[in-house]
Homo-oligomer: A and B are copies of this chain.
Amino acid sequence: MPPTFSDRMSHVPKSFIREILKDALMPDTISFAGGLPNRTLFPTEAIKAATRKVFALYGNGLFQYSASEGLIDLREWIAGRYKEKGLHVPLENILITNGSQQGLDLLGKILLNAGDGFILEEPGYLGAIQAFALYRARFLPVPVSENGMDTKKLRAILESEQPKLIYTVPNFQNPSGITYPEENRHAVADIIRGTKTLFIEDDPYGDLRFTKTKHTSFKTLLPDNTVLLGSFSKIVVPGLRIGWIAAPDPIMQKLVIAKQASDLHTNPFAQCVMHQYLRDNDLDAHIAKIVTAYSAQKEVMRNSILRHFPAEVTSTNPEGGMFLWLTLPQGASALDLLALAKKDKVCFVPGDPFYINQSHRNTLRLNYSCADIETIETGMGKLANAIKTLLAR
């Protein structure tokens, strides 16, 4: 007989995107549905060279059990990178994780009791919704737009609730592509400052900036109660599964205990390879290549929208990252659009899973990192037709 599962399992949304991606994997479908970095830009030769080198340098030492906190050299490299950006994050406050998804899981594990208030962006990152739903967070969604976070709503929530956490992706957010403007960051920080709400700043895309503008990190604005999440997945490769959490001392201590109970430690071989790659290569030059490609792809997608889409369909204009967000006229359903689009062999992710308990929303996410310019033009043409058919109904 099947066992009774824990209550926490009844709170996890099904993976909608997983189902969608099944279609996306058909070779003749143009997919704007994925959330993947472009694999043609992976620095595989350089990683291969780094791998060869660590075998020569460390031999058997690569494969023993190792420290739960992660490889010291790699943590030092990350601390140095923060320093270049003007952030003071000592290596002792950095824990290496299996990608930043694990960072979310560990934070949920050490911080959340069932029913604890949790502020998240709406639309918000699906991986965070999944991770925190498992710890039975009580979600308190706050709308975000190209103006950043809705400070009126945020203030109202903080006046009536004592949320444990606030989770944000302030740069080129997944799913919407928006970036919090500078003034909005200060306004949000002013509201949070002095409360007991811990600020989680997840920044997987921050380095993929298409413009010169620079924004202040919440770590600068709220130095004592900000936890940073970082990842090499979008700037090197996702397949080495290396991310990190940077957290103040008392939180770090609990995170290490939780990491140990969860999987002892992150793959030391992958950590050594990543560190060697970072040591021997110019990461910023590599990032510049990714930025050049994604920026051009974004421009083509954005121009297709301006040229071919009905005027009542609006989109964000991301300053970086991998996603663009489309809003259909009020009442139109992106799920209905998907049914039409699939017939014409093009797909995307409807907005629904990025909201808490909402369906048939009029929004959708388009990914531009994985398709070349010609494919984007063809796919966006098909999508324009599907939208026209939908709106003519």
Contact = CB atoms under 8 A, between A and B. Distances in A.
A250 B1 CA distance: 10
B2 A251 contact: yes
Given A109-B6, A263-B102, A65 B44 contact: no
Given A61-B39, A266-B241, A15 B196 contact: no
Given A109-B6, A264-B99, A269 B225 contact: no
A316 interface: no
A80 interface: no
Nearest to A135: B6
A217 interface: no
B9 A257 contact: yes
Given A6-B135, A9-B254, A98 B263 contact: yes
A285 interface: no
Interface residues of A, number: 78
Contact of A110 (B9, B65, B113, B263): B9
Q: Which of A6, A109, A263 has the most CB of B within 10 A?
A: A263
A122 interface: no
Interface string A224-240: 11000000010001111
A42 interface: yes
Interface in A120-155: 127, 130-131, 133-135
A133 B42 CA distance: 40
Interface string A1-25: 1111111110010110010000000
A72 to B, nearest CB: 14
Given A44-B60, A248-B2, A254-B9, A99 B238 contact: no
A27 interface: no
Contact of A6 (B1, B112, B134): B112
Q: Which of A7, A97, A248, A270 has the most CB of B within 10 A?
A: A270
Contacts of A283: none
A161 B1 CA distance: 18
Interface string A193-227: 00010100000000000000000000000001100
A198 to B, nearest CB: 5
Contacts of A8: 109, 113
Nearest to A66: B239
Interface in A326-340: none
Interface stretch (A47-55, A289-297, A345-353): A47-55
Interface string A248-260: 1011001001101
B55 A44 contact: yes
A64 B239 contact: yes
Given A7-B113, A130-B257, A240-B269, 5 more contacts: A1-B224, A8-B113, A36-B65, A51-B51, A263-B263
